[in-house]
Chains A and B, each alone.
Chain A
Amino acid sequence: MNSSMREFRQGLLDVLPILVAATPIGLLWGTLAAGKGLVAFEVWLMSATVFAGAAQFVAIEVWRDPVPWVLLTVTALIVNIRHVLMGASLSRHLGGIDRRWHPLMMFLMADENWAFSERRALKTPLTLGYYFGLALPMWITWTTSSIVGAIVGRSFGDPAAYGFDFAFSAMFICILAGFWKGPRTGAVLGSSAIAAALAKLYVLGAWYIVIGGIVGMIVAALLYKDGEAA
């Protein structure tokens, strides 16, 4: 086995538990999207080209007839604005990878494979094989489970009855635990959560995500002390 195959296999092994967790979430999303009137092809197309769970769930919540496509586009931009910083952070680790692959790598950058790549880069240089070992199975799982959800999901009845609707929140809590560095992280998360929950109640649209992010950032900046290693 050559080294890119080994790297790909390592990525696949790392992402396997995420695939198991993402499958019911994809099924759920496909079911909800079909419930809003999207046909199976449209469900697949959105998962294949947007490929962003949080944005897709928010979009289905905002979705109505007639389809507010400008609002949906702006909402996707707001929910996904975090990618700008994730990409900026990941770009530090792409030195050893041919630039021609960078656009495709960015297309496939999701919360989970981004987090794994960042963690990997702490120990060993990030390779194309490892990254695709994470990202391609994620893309295949997400698109497949979405379209299966759209086709058969409704025959299972209400997904909330099985608690599947909570799987997405539970997965995010797991990812958040990986960001924990101490009480200051708690302050950032607490302030972000309160700001987002209040904004969701009192501000229209999907602004609550950006508001929570900005409040968390401000708290982190205020708690920073000069001269410490960040």
Chain B
Amino acid sequence: MSATILAIIGMALATYATRASGLYLMRGVTVTGRLKAALDALPPAILMAVIAPTILTTGIAETIAAALTAVAAFMRLPLVVTILIGVVSVVLLRLVLS
């Protein structure tokens, strides 16, 4: 088997393990108080961490475009419109700032 197929199978199994284990490990467990606050914070903290290098350390164009996208997202603009604002502004900013 090629290393590529091996990598894909490994990634698929690892990913499925993360998806299934939440359902079966935590079934019936109730979490409250400080621990619940910490667990509730994990999903947004992880999503933020995934994109943080792109929006903070790539360049000023990406950082400004991310800020504009965030403003649009908070104005509750439709999702597609918000993403377009991000994509168009990053293109224009890269042109202007490069």
- Docked Cα-Cα span, A67 to B8, in Å, equals 10
- Docked Cα-Cα span, A45 to B65, in Å, equals 33
* Contacting pair B14 A77 (CB below 8 A): yes
* Contacting pair B26 A88 (CB below 8 A): yes
Q: Quick one: CB contact mask for B76-98 with A, threshold 8 Å, 1 for yes?
A: 00111011011110110010000
The residue among B16, B27, B51, B54 with the most chain A CB atoms within 10 A of its own CB is B51
Residues in B with CB closer than 8 Å to A38 are 4
Q: Which residue of B lies closest to A66 (CB)?
A: B3
* Contacting pair A216 B37 (CB below 8 A): no
- Docked Cα-Cα span, A42 to B14, in Å, equals 17
B60 contacts chain A at the CB level, 8 A cutoff: no
Tell which of B4, B56, B65, B85 touches A42, judged by Cβ atoms closer than 8 Å.
B4
Chain B interface, number of residues (Cβ within 8 angstroms): 71
Residues in B with CB closer than 8 Å to A166 are 54, 62, 65, 86-87, 90
CB distance from A14 to the nearest CB of B (A): 11
CB distance from B96 to the nearest CB of A (A): 13
Residues in A with CB closer than 8 Å to B53 are 196-197, 200-201, 208
Chain A interface, number of residues (Cβ within 8 angstroms): 95
Q: Which residue of B lies closest to A73 (CB)?
A: B10
- Docked Cα-Cα span, A193 to B5, in Å, equals 33
A40 contacts chain B at the CB level, 8 A cutoff: no
- Docked Cα-Cα span, A221 to B63, in Å, equals 28
* Contacting pair B7 A73 (CB below 8 A): yes
Q: Which residue of A lies closest to B1 (CB)?
A: A69
The residue among A38, A194, A196 with the most chain B CB atoms within 10 A of its own CB is A196
Tell which of B18, B20, B29, B52 touches A192, judged by Cβ atoms closer than 8 Å.
B52
- Docked Cα-Cα span, A64 to B38, in Å, equals 36
Q: Which residue of B lies closest to A216 (CB)?
A: B45
* Contacting pair B14 A73 (CB below 8 A): yes
* Contacting pair A208 B23 (CB below 8 A): no
Residues in A with CB closer than 8 Å to B52 are 192-194, 196-197, 200, 208, 212
Tell which of A59, A77, A175 touches B18, judged by Cβ atoms closer than 8 Å.
A77
CB distance from A79 to the nearest CB of B (A): 7
Q: Quick one: CB contact mask for A156-185 with B, threshold 8 Å, 1 for yes?
A: 000001111011111111111101100001
Tell which of B12, B34, B50, B69 touches A49, judged by Cβ atoms closer than 8 Å.
B12
A134 contacts chain B at the CB level, 8 A cutoff: no
* Contacting pair B80 A17 (CB below 8 A): yes
* Contacting pair A21 B19 (CB below 8 A): no
CB distance from B89 to the nearest CB of A (A): 8
A126 contacts chain B at the CB level, 8 A cutoff: no
Nearest 9 CB-CB pairs, A to B?
A87-B22, A212-B49, A216-B45, A170-B86, A220-B41, A73-B10, A88-B26, A196-B49, A49-B12
